[in-house]
A and B are shown apart, each in its own frame.
Chain A
Amino acid sequence: MLEFRKDIFADERDDNLLEIGQPTQRQDMLGHVTATSRYYDDHRFANLLHLKVLRSPHAHARIRSIDDSAAARAPGVKRIIRAADVPVNLNTLLSLMQFGKDDEPSLATDVVRYKGEPILGIVATSERAALEAMALVRISYDPLPAVFDVEEALKPGAPSVNPTYPKNTFEYHGKYDHQKLRFGDVDAAFAQADVVLEDRYQMSPIEHAPTETNGSIAVPDTNGRIVVYTSTQALFFSLDTAAKINALPSNQLHFIGGTVGGGFGGKVDTMTEPLAILAARLTGAPVRYRFSRHEEMQFGSPRGAERIYIKDGIMRDGRIIARQVRAYFDSGAYTRLSSYAVIKCAGHIPGPYTIPNVSADIYCVFTNRTPATAMRGFGVTAIDFAIECQMDKDAVAIGMDPLEFRMLNAYRDGDMKAHRREAKNCALIECAQVAAEKAQWPLRDEFRRMSSRQGGAARAGVTDRSRMPAPAVPPRVPASTTQRVTYERPMPAVSPAATPPPPPPTPPQPPAPAASGHGARRFSSVFGTRRR
């Protein structure tokens, strides 16, 4: 059951919340339980045509010839769509925000780069007629060497997957082949660490498998516009992408969506709308392009697979003094959104822990696999999995309780993150305390008294980048932070004026509400107010 722990940071909150903490009924629930919610495919049109797409059976091959003459004459076929019919065939999703180069064709021209890549579309009076015509298409291929492993793809002489990025790495800022994070000096720290632990973590691609497959219906309107009913998770993003590929002003497209049969990130890639719109324009009729389950699995982008190496330098007293990460994101044959996932990953390293020496190199790598995309925290989930596995192994290596090990290294207010941003509004220690209490996990007294508000600020800094931040003079330990002597962690010299006294557990008076009137003061950095 949901439980609000208002005793934590009680002096920083007001509780004039209207909706948070109150159960509320979803507005679409009645539609769902009466099966009257309208998904994209619950709209009906007279003379609806059906688009099916012929896909590559090869992971990497040159197309020598395509003979679709028999298919074009097959019963029910209205139109064959080839790459040359697509107004702007080459696109990359994030080109809408000027990020990355157009690298993925809507329909393949001369080379296919993954199994399932679309080659030509067949528009027919039924799905069955389209599929029967598809069986009559003759394509001759010259198979090319393929690469399926991210590190193999980076070796000299590896097959080049994507001609836009011939070195098999995405290009950042027009020149960098990966994302880099540097803080302190990891090599010097490893030399001083009591224990150095390195391990390798490998993720698998994961299919979102929404119960409703991707699809859309494009319907020519009498005013010249095209109305598109779609399963997309990203309505306006898809509209603009479809407008670009079709070389249409976006006001010629009217997208209707919002009721989505499961997405989880697998419906942001605008995979059906551009060709459905093109087919509707070429035939003048409403056209549905609906993935079969097989297409959803083979062609629908999965969560990308990441390979992550983590090397930690740890002291016997529990401090992590260095963390080095090398990670490779498998983007598949084209970019889609993995380039962005890499940036998220870089922003997440070294996890919610204060480590004075951090180094990371993260690559977005092209392979001959299905292009990867968003899925529930992509870019972060995998690195978190790797980091937390590593944290357990670190704790075991120095014989420390894994939860206390995390609490000892957790971000505290005032700590300097590896990205040279000050940690604010930290709460990991408090979360761990509540979790330990709920799980009846024994914590020692000093960990039960630990606070995110105390002890930060001097554990990692940008000014002293040469060595570990061991204070030259024995630190003055404020009475309120005596819990931290156990692990002989160097205590920061905190002036009492800079640190407010810890709040009483139950304030005698409720704190004065913020002038803004919203109830989210602790997490209010977006509103411009800060805790300190």
Chain B
Amino acid sequence: MRIEVGYRDEFPDGRALRLAARLKRAGVASLQRITLCDVYLLSGYADPGNAVLREVFCDSVVQDFWVQRSDDQPRPHSADWNAVIEVTRKPGVTDPVGITAADALRRAGVVSLPERPVDAAGDGSRAAAVPSAVQSARQYRLVVDGSPDRQLETAQQVAAALHNPLIERAVVLAPYVGAAAAALPLAYSNRIAASPAEVLTFDLASMQPHQLMQLSRDRLLSLEPPEMGAIRDYYADPATTASRRAAGLPAGCTDVELEMIAQTWSEHCKHKIFQAHIEYREDGDDQSAPQHIDGLFDTYIRRVTQSVAAGRDDLKSVFHDNAGVVAFDDRTYVCFKAETHNSPSALDPYGGAITGIVGVNRDILGTGKGAKPIFNTNVLCFGELDTPVEAIPQGLMHPRRVLDGVHHGIVDGGNQSGIPTIAGAVLFDDSYVGKPLVFCGTGGILPARIDNEESWIKHIEPGHLAVMVGGRIGKDGIHGATFSSLALDEASPVSAVQIGDPITQRNMTDFLLEARDRGLYAGITDNGAGGLSSSLGEMAQHSGGVRIELDCCPLKYPGLAPWEILVSESQERMSLAVDPAHIQELISLAAARNVEATVVGRFSDSGAVEVFYHDRPVARLDLGFLHDGLPRMQLTARWRSPRAAAPCPAAPGPSARLVTDDRETLLQLLGEPNIASKEALVRQYDHEVQAGSVIKPFVGVGADAPSDGAVVRPRSGSNRALTVTHGICPRYGDADTYHMAMCAVDEAFRAHIALGGDPERAYALDNFCWPDPVLSEDTPDGPYKLAQLVRACRGLHDACVAYGLPLISGKDSMKNDARLAGRKVSVRPTLLISLMGVIKDASRARSTDFVAAGDHIYLLGATRGELGGTSLEKLLQRAGVAAHLGAPPTVDPRSALALYRALHAAIDDGLVASCHDLSDGGLAVALAESALGGRLGARVDIQTVVTSLPATDGASVQPGLPAVTRALFCETPSRFLASVAPVQQREFEAALAGHTCVLLGRVVEQPVLQVRNGSELRLELGLEQARDAFGRLNGEIV
């Protein structure tokens, strides 16, 4: 049965209007009009009649409704449209609307017909019969100009823009006349080819190395020769053979075991590169012995937290759980975690992003005894929006389309889950054209103690039942963990793409928090990469073993091979350890909350993961081997010294004007996509749900000036609050990733300070997204990229230790390369620092906007004039001048920290009216943003800053640029722009005594930005113009 629902003509559909605008921008000409219909295709239901169907599907006040029951019934036809496109999801791709529709029918009392027998017709493959189900589809009705051929061409163009063939299919009817009705089916095929239920066994002991590697490639295991060797050795061990024989398993390795090992040992799960032994050498130093690094994680990252942890008791659980847990106040803890979802977002931007969000939400839900998500963050990196279509390698999407899809996924993922999206950033850079970077973060809160025990402790004991909660298992998301460890290419598996379903997860979240508070489970973890294999495999380490019954696992449809059930990454699932005494109560609570909970095994102390399928053993792996049997990688890193400054353009031209006309430079910088307002995107995120928002993403009189980060109060009735900020500056890494990392830490930390955060109470996450740094035929520069990684880790370590900033969790994604049509596109090495800090009293928080005319404007922190890797450099490079402007900004953490403490005290004492940290675009951009926010002008003199710039020595600083330009646009870190009321001037200056604190001028009523260098007027810019430049991008990204 086919049901089509659409708004009546007198109620124009806002979605259609927006879509028409988008298509026009995408260059679809000759499209006059487009309207939308929601389509529901019911199969396997008894016909309840139109009245019931109307009640379920149609809002009769505004919508029309049409039901088709047989193929020969004529379709509606109107002169109002002459082409029709219908888009549905491919079989096996999650269809949340269809799931809800089936639920609504059940609630309306519509009954399913008896199940049909297995459909064995046709192509010889075993197809699965699907019981009653609803497929949702979206129908577009078009009015297209021109000849019939032209109509078809336009409709196909629109269809291409409206669906992603990896996961969706589109039917195009053009020219459409009523007679073409039969071409839209009553149901689309949802047949999924069944996998063989047999378990394969591989005789690894008899395989040659090349055969082992062939096996790794054929099965997409992403395992390297030493790893395949270690697996072979495990099976050759007589102890293994004996225990397998006793358990009734063959001597060879079963496919269930091989897949489980590959998942557990994937780069994604084991962070092999961060664990590797590295020999590091610098250019020109071939004589002395190389430096040996015994694991980047242990040497740098863990060491940060070890060295700053001394004497503090706020770090509760770091690194070993899903997310780092720290004390918030005496009764509550908070936790924070960020992940990336890059490869899936490249293939399906919407699905990749939404799955990223709901996935990291589950990390929080599975932290300790379970935390409640209280905020989301996202940092998105895309190729430049003006990239010519021809420059996009075949098989890749244009950055604009990636942006649209990712953004839509983040909107749905956050808003529908009721979790505010409070902070983040959008970056554009050529190097992200191959793989976008999609960083998704979530913060959570949990009571300090649950059941009279520290809430971060997990207890999983032998005898506890293993319970799977939430969605069912399908073939979507098979090999996600191993796939993310490969470069993207034409053969990337479609099954790695999934669509998250926030509403299923929302129900599960409500249920789990209720179950937690009733003490119904003992341990919890999420099902992310690797599915049950990963979650139960990890939980088994607590009890000492687990027995899994694969045939007990609820499936979306029949026809999954045993190994597929074990490693599928189907979404919205959590795993619990439940005391048998509580199982009945847990199961019935789940049922009352519309959540499925199923016992799928039992934890043990057998020392092994044992897997059964219909009572037959199909896998048995020693826990020790599974988790610790992975051989360490041995890698080489080779560092080349930073490049020297290249000459500045001397020839006249637009770019020359750029560096001599500061006003023009500032206008261009305000419109530079990385600096320009992205409000059109951010306003679509619900940033206020849960009611904790204190500093919002956009601030000021018109709520359109950027803030430095977010401040939220997680607990009603308490003014204690959290700051959330980010630091990311990949272009600084062109010269030296050491400084890039230090600057990223500083950026996040100084933004925390600018908001009013306590310098002694801040916690950071490190997320590395690197191009493949392992030497191979494909990656001849692997040693250099690895050296960049080593240096970034050192910079991260040095800055965090200097600031006393613990790293509480982190993640790395090491294969951000795309290889398409023979071209390799690698991301710039990228390190994101996400920071969560405490602000004792939210009413002390500050925003970036100038508050009152007459206030004094101060620049805090020394200005050193570095321009390498800055926004100004990028502007020149994109203007066609291959300019390198010398050394990148560097951090002096000692003086910076002293300044941060002094400024924090001043803010805490209420001496500061507004505070803005200086980042992209330097002083000039910060001034313009603060003025825009306050709708107030500024009159400043920067002579003191100019004269105090360090002299250029020609090597480290670009010599050709005027000192004033350097002072205005350099991106020296650790600086702030603060405004202070005249009555507080003296006290403020006293509080900042001993630190670089330059009085620049005053906030003025007249809406003009005026910058002098002594007697010389360097820059005069009306706020209206600045606002236009800053806001222009918004028109292009909605």
- Asked if A and B bind, the verdict is no
Residue ranges of B at the interface with A (Cβ–Cβ < 8 Å): none
Residue ranges of A at the interface with B (Cβ–Cβ < 8 Å): none
